[in-house]
Chain A
Amino acid sequence: MTTRASVVRVLMILVSVAVLTVFLLLPLAVVFSEALKQGLHAFTRVFHQAEARSAIWLTLLVAAIAVPVNMVFGVAAAWLMARFEFRGKALLGAFIDLPFSVSPVISGMAFVLLFGAQGWFGPWLIERNLGVIFAVPGLVLATVFVTLPFIARELIPLMQAQGSEEEEAARVLGAGSWQMFFRVTLPNIRWALLYGVLLCNARAMGEFGAVSVVSGHIRNLTTTMPLEVEMRYNEYDYVGAFAVASLLALLAVLTLAFKALMEWRYRHELAAGGVHR
């Protein structure tokens, strides 16, 4: 009986490890291997090209706007959802989560229908010579939409689990609103906030579907790194595509490594975090 049980256990572990290796580890390995297929020189040459550099800068720019915007929204939404009871709270929570269940392509299309040449505000924008679609503002808007729930979702369960006693005590002892926020609330949620920011950033830099619809794929102007990967791939520049992709994969690995480190060091603080997406 015991030997049969241990055989089953070893078999289960082996099958799980095989599934994880083939389905998750292999795709990661392929990215780096294909990027370095023609040697280090061919790999580094890609990053001397103007298109690759401008794609990297644009990706950093879009994330540098979208992530702080969603950070402010996420903290405000978490404060509202975790500290107050009000009518329609469940509905508001569903709206905060809505971008998760909308296809990225549909999100991008919604902004085209709003700001594109034939959209609601299209004619008004054209009159004033302002470009949103096929320009940087459209990329930022689509990215903000897609990454909207990340930080709020990370903070709400944690703040609910922590409760409001410490903040109430601070208020009763005479702390001002902002004093309470910066001295009590923020220190309590800092690690979850940091992790939420990192996840949001990983998604913002890697967003493809929504950005692809609003970008117009103009080289050097509206091509972010994931779009650069697509364009090079479709032009059969595989080393170039995988070289740019390897930078994004490196970002993903660093994000995961940071998460593993955080969980190991601050397990109790992040324990209420629930499902991370």
Chain B
Amino acid sequence: MKRRVLPGFGLTLGYVMAWLGLIVLLPLAALVFKSTALAPSGWWALLSAPRTLAALRLSFGGAVLAAAVNVFAGLLVAWVLVRHRFPGRRLFDALVDLPFALPTAVAGIALTAIYAPEGWLGRYLVPMGIKVAYAPLGVVVAMVFVGFPFVVRTLQPVLESMEREVEEAAASLGATRWQVFFRVVLPLLLPTLLTGFGLALARAVGEYGSVIFIAGNIPRVSEITPLLIVEKLEEFNYAGAAALGVVMLVLSLLLLLLVSLLQRASRRWELPR
């Protein structure tokens, strides 16, 4: 075996594994273990309750919708920030990271103040019949907010390193602008878009702070799964809360697995390097 020139392998490996075991794996093991305290009948009662199903549908459906919105908005914003120069570009570029840095509770009350019926935008939207705050749409708006930077930030480096020659070649061979975009640019960006989609999705599914203020939290209408978990904890129904937590973790892992499979399939169209 090759002797390692650099020191610290054993020390850092031992430390990182021990710390991950203590801080990450032990608590999650306690969660899985507690969920086994729920009897099969309890699992059935939990998973067949209309309130649970509605919360899961809102959390996962809302997150998929929000991530899809972020793919479109993120593609547009990343494209404009990389390819075009305009006054204030650097300021807007820095602003993209705001949802990473702004605490979720702050984002939650700010979004509510904007979209509430008497709020900055709500006062114009509500008379038009668009109810954002205290409705499922508000949940999606908050999820779009927290997931916004992921698509932009994964796309930017790829767009920067993309060779314009490919687009120019397509254009010189007679392709229209739309053909260049849909036949050349989009297939190249698809794996990256899916990465961004997966990251935004993972973030939106578990989001709590920014959602609970704007959602109104009406059971079976605008109540998200993490809030249902909190309510079960407050009723000291620990086994039920843990079981719902395990269901959420398993569903999000399956969803992310599906995204990475799609990503693998989409790479078939990548140019050979």
- Chain A interface (Cβ < 8 Å from any Cβ of B): 5, 8-9, 12-13, 15-17, 19-20, 22-28, 30-31, 34, 73, 76-77, 79-80, 83-84, 86, 92, 95-96, 98-107, 109-114, 116, 118-120, 141, 144-145, 148, 164, 167-168, 171-172, 177, 180, 199, 202-203, 205-209, 212-213, 225-227, 229-230, 233, 241-242, 245, 248-249, 251-253, 255-257, 259-260, 264, 274-277
Contacts and interface: CB of A to CB of B under 8 A. Distances in A.
Interface residues of B, number: 90
A150 to B, nearest CB: 10
Contacts of A264: 90
Nearest to A98: B24
A95 B27 contact: no
A252 B98 contact: yes
Interface string B110-146: 1101100000110000000000000000000000110
B208 interface: yes
A229 B16 CA distance: 35
15 contacts: A106-B206, A106-B248, A110-B31, A141-B23, A167-B6, A171-B7, A202-B101, A227-B105, A245-B106, A252-B98, A252-B102, A255-B101, A264-B90, A275-B199, A277-B100
Given A20-B92, A213-B233, A275-B154, A113 B102 contact: no
Nearest to A117: B236
B78 to A, nearest CB: 9
The residue among B84, B92, B102, B104 with the most chain A CB atoms within 10 A of its own CB is B102
Contact of B109 (A17, A111, A242, A260): A242
Contact of A24 (B7, B148, B150, B253): B148
Interface in B70-115: 73, 76-77, 79-81, 84, 86, 88, 90, 92-107, 109-111, 113-114
Nearest to B256: A101
The residue among B12, B15, B145, B213 with the most chain A CB atoms within 10 A of its own CB is B12
A243 B227 CA distance: 25
Contacts of A15: 76
Nearest to B156: A275
B58 interface: no
Contacts of A111: 27
A110 B208 contact: no
Contacts, number: 269
Given A84-B6, A180-B7, A106 B110 contact: no
Contacts of A98: 24, 28
Interface string B198-211: 01001101111100
Nearest to A22: B121
A256 B94 CA distance: 6
Q: Majority SS of interface residues in chain B?
A: helix
Nearest to A121: B30
Nearest first, the 10 closest Cβ-Cβ pairs linking A and B are: A206-B103, A103-B206, A110-B27, A208-B209, A209-B208, A252-B101, A27-B110, A105-B226, A177-B7, A80-B12
A262 to B, nearest CB: 11
Given A16-B81, A23-B144, A245 B105 contact: yes
Contacts of B227: 105
B30 A120 contact: yes
A226 B150 contact: no
A253 B95 CA distance: 9
Contact of A26 (B77, B114, B154): B114
Contacts of A233: 109, 213
Contacts of A203: 100
Interface in B145-173: 145, 148-150, 153-154, 157
A277 B152 CA distance: 12
B241 interface: yes
A259 B33 CA distance: 42
Contacts of A242: 109, 113
Contacts of B105: 206, 208, 226-227, 229-230, 245, 248
B103 A109 contact: no
Nearest to A210: B208
A76 B15 contact: yes
B206 A104 contact: yes
